[in-house]
C-alpha cells in the first residue's frame, strides 16, 4: 500500500495554523499528529518539515507519512472476492458462514486471516480495520481501511444498503422506528425495549408473493441485530433466522446481504459506490419469485 497521503491546501485554509488544518481538512486525530511528530519528516509542506505550530499556505502540498503497522493476525490462504481496492481501502464481498474477526472459536478461518495472507502476497502489512462488521452468517460487502487515518475518517459517513428475504408478504415500503435492547438473561438476543436505544430501519419490497418477500433495507442507526430484530417485530422474520422466529426449511442461515456501500473518499473526495451480487443460496430462493 502507499505509505503517504497528499493534500493540497485550499484557498480558504491559507495562513491557517497547521494543527488546525491537519485536524479540520485532513481529518487527523491529535493522537496521530503526535505520533507523526516522532517520525522523521512525518509531516511536510512542499518537501519541508511542517510543525503543528507553523502556518500552511494556499496551494502548498502537505505530505503525511502513514506509520507502518503490523496486524498480528495469522495469514491463511483463501479466496477473496475483491470489489474495490486502492491505497486506502480494500472492499470485499464476504461469503456467508465466515466470521470477520478471529474469536475464541474461530482463530484461522476468518476474513481477517485471508486478508492477512493477501497482504503478505502483495508485500503489504497493515492492521485489519473493518469499518462495517457483519455477522458470521450475513454475507456482503466489508470495508477494510488500510491505515488509522482512513479508519477514523470513515466513521459515520458510509451509506449501506442491505437485501433480505423474509417470511410473508411485506408492505410496498415502510419504516420501523422501535428502540432495541438486550433481552434479559441473554448476551446476544435483542428485542423491542421501550427505553432502549433508538433504532430506525427503512425498507422497500422488491418482490413478493404470499409466502416470502425480497426487500431492500437501509438504516438510520446501527444497532446489533437491528434488521433481524425489527423485521421479526412486524411479523416478517428473515428466512433461516431461527433466533428471531425464522424458519430453517429453505436455508440454515439468516438471508441477509450487504449489497451496496457508498461514501465520499476521505483522500480523493470522490464518491465511491460499490455493489456485490447476492450469494448463490439467496439467489436460488428468489427463483421461486420470478
Q: Which residues does the annotation mark as catalytic?
A: 135
Nearest to 111 by CA among 81, 83, 88: 81
Best CA proximity match to 28, nearest among 151, 162, 110: 151
d(CA 13, CA 5): 18
3-state secondary structure of 21: helix
Question: For 176, how many CA atoms within 13 A lie in the half-sphere containing its CB?
Answer: 25
Torsion of CA 51, 54, 59, 64, to 10 degrees: 10
- CA dist., res. 191 & res. 175, Å (int): 17
Would residue 11 be called left, alpha or beta, if left means φ above 0 and alpha means ψ between -120 and 50 degrees?
Answer: alpha
| Measured distance CA(100)–CA(109) in Å, rounded | 9
CB atoms near residue 191 (< 10 Å):
17
Cell of 141: 460487502
Grid cell at residue 96: 456467508
Q: Residue 164's closest CA among 128, 205, 133, 123?
A: 205
**What cell does 232 get?**
421479526
Assigned C-alpha cell, 115: 486478508
How does DSSP classify residue 96?
A: T
End-to-end CA separation in angstroms for the chain: 44
The Cα–Cα gap between 25 and 164 comes to 38
Amino acid at each position: 500500500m502507499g505509505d503517504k497521503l497528499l493534500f493540497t491546501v485550499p484557498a480558504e485554509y491559507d495562513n491557517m495554523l497547521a494543527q488546525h488544518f491537519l485536524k479540520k481538512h485532513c481529518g487527523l486525530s491529535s493522537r496521530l499528529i503526535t505520533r507523526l511528530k516522532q517520525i522523521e519528516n512525518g509531516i511536510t509542506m512542499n518537501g519541508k518539515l511542517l510543525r503543528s505550530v507553523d502556518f500552511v499556505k494556499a496551494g502548498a502540498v502537505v505530505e503525511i507519512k502513514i506509520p507502518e503497522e503490523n496486524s498480528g493476525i495469522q495469514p491463511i490462504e483463501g479466496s477473496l472476492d475483491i470489489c474495490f481496492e486502492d491505497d486506502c481501502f480494500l472492499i470485499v464481498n464476504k461469503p456467508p458462514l465466515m466470521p470477520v474477526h478471529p474469536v475464541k472459536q474461530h482463530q484461522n478461518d476468518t476474513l481477517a486471516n485471508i486478508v492477512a495472507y493477501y497482504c503478505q502476497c502483495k508485500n503489504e502489512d497493515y492492521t485489519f480495520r473493518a469499518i462495517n462488521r457483519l455477522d458470521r452468517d450475513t454475507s456482503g460487502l466489508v470495508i477494510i481501511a488500510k491505515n488509522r487515518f482512513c479508519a477514523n475518517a470513515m466513521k459515520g459517513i458510509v451509506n449501506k444498503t442491505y437485501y433480505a428475504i423474509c417470511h410473508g408478504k411485506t408492505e410496498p415500503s415502510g419504516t420501523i422506528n422501535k428502540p432495541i435492547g438486550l433481552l434479559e438473561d441473554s448476551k446476544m438476543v435483542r428485542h423491542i425495549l421501550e427505553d432502549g436505544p433508538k433504532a430506525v430501519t427503512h425498507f422497500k419490497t422488491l418482490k413478493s408473493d404470499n409466502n416470502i418477500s425480497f426487500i431492500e433495507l437501509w438504516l438510520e442507526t446501527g444497532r446489533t441485530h437491528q434488521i433481524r430484530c425489527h423485521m421479526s417485530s412486524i411479523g416478517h422474520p428473515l428466512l433461516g433466522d431461527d433466533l428471531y422466529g425464522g424458519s430453517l426449511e429453505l436455508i440454515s442461515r439468516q438471508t441477509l446481504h450487504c449489497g451496496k456501500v457508498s461514501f465520499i473518499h476521505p483522500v480523493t473526495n470522490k464518491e465511491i459506490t460499490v455493489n456485490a451480487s447476492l450469494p448463490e443460496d439467496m439467489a436460488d430462493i428468489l427463483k421461486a419469485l420470478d
